[in-house]
């Protein structure tokens, strides 16, 4: 099973991502664009793992999530990876992300204890697109792109499976852990 852990967003975030995608396409950026219903903030991408390892992840989620209170994130920064050279991913990020950083650190600590390895540094972001080609003056286009920041509430963490199809990824909820409370499943 190909899985990842994420925070779900809201309709306003999906609408903003779609709006920015349209602006990038009109400015001759070429790439693959996440479908509107697939917009999320990935915490950890695990790739292909078996059911036993998936259960270990669920236990970690259920252990950490109740200790972390609900919080809100404001997507107010446009960025890209890698930071030098041509962009491969364009994203919306957040400043004042102390709560999501804390959630990441707590999860990462326990994941490492159970043989999952992730980086210490985490850049919380929502992917706008995976870029395959850019126009001349792409840096200026990105720096002058106008959008209104959007805030969304985080009250749970999701474990999702991802199936790749010719029309894009299809996500299925595997498990949901409520922040600051008990877990619940679909």
Catalytic residues: 40, 125
Q: pLDDT tens-digit profile of 49-72?
A: 999 999 999 999 999 999 999 999
pLDDT at 70: 93
Q: Quick one: pLDDT band at residue 166, thresholds 50, 70, 90? A: confident
Read off the pTM: 0.90
Q: pLDDT tens-digit profile of 172-182?
A: 999 999 998 54
Six-digit token pair at 178?
């409520």
pLDDT > 90: percent of the chain:
83
Does residue 47 come out as left (phi exceeding 0), alpha (psi in the -120 to 50 range) or beta? left
Domains of the chain: 2-178 (3.90.1140.10)
Nearest-angstrom CA–CA distance, 145 and 141:
6
Q: pLDDT tens-digit profile of 9-53?
A: 999 999 999 999 999 999 999 999 998 889 999 999 999 999 999
Q: In this structure, how many other beta carbons lie within 10 angstroms of the beta carbon of residue 29?
A: 22
* Average pLDDT value over all residues in the chain: 92
């Amino acid at each position: 099973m190909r899985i990842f852990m994420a925070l779900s967003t809201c309709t306003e975030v999906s609408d903003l991502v779609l709006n920015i995608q349209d602006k990038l396409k009109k400015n001759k950026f070429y790439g693959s664009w996440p479908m509107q219903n697939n917009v999320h903030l990935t915490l950890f991408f695990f790739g292909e793992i078996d059911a036993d390892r998936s259960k270990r992840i669920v236990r970690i989620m259920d252990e950490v999530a109740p200790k972390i209170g609900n919080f809100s994130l404001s997507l107010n920064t446009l960025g890209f990876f890698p930071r030098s050279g041509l962009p491969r991913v364009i994203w919306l990020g957040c400043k004042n992300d102390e709560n999501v950083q804390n959630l990441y650190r707590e999860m990462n600590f326990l994941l490492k204890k159970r043989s999952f390895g992730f980086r210490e540094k985490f850049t919380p972001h929502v992917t706008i697109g995976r870029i395959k080609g850019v126009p001349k003056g792409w840096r200026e286009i990105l720096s002058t792109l106008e959008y209104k920041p959007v805030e969304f509430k985080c009250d749970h963490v999701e474990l999702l499976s991802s199936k790749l199809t010719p029309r894009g990824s299809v996500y299925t909820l595997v498990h949901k852990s409520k922040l600051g409370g008990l877990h619940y499943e679909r």
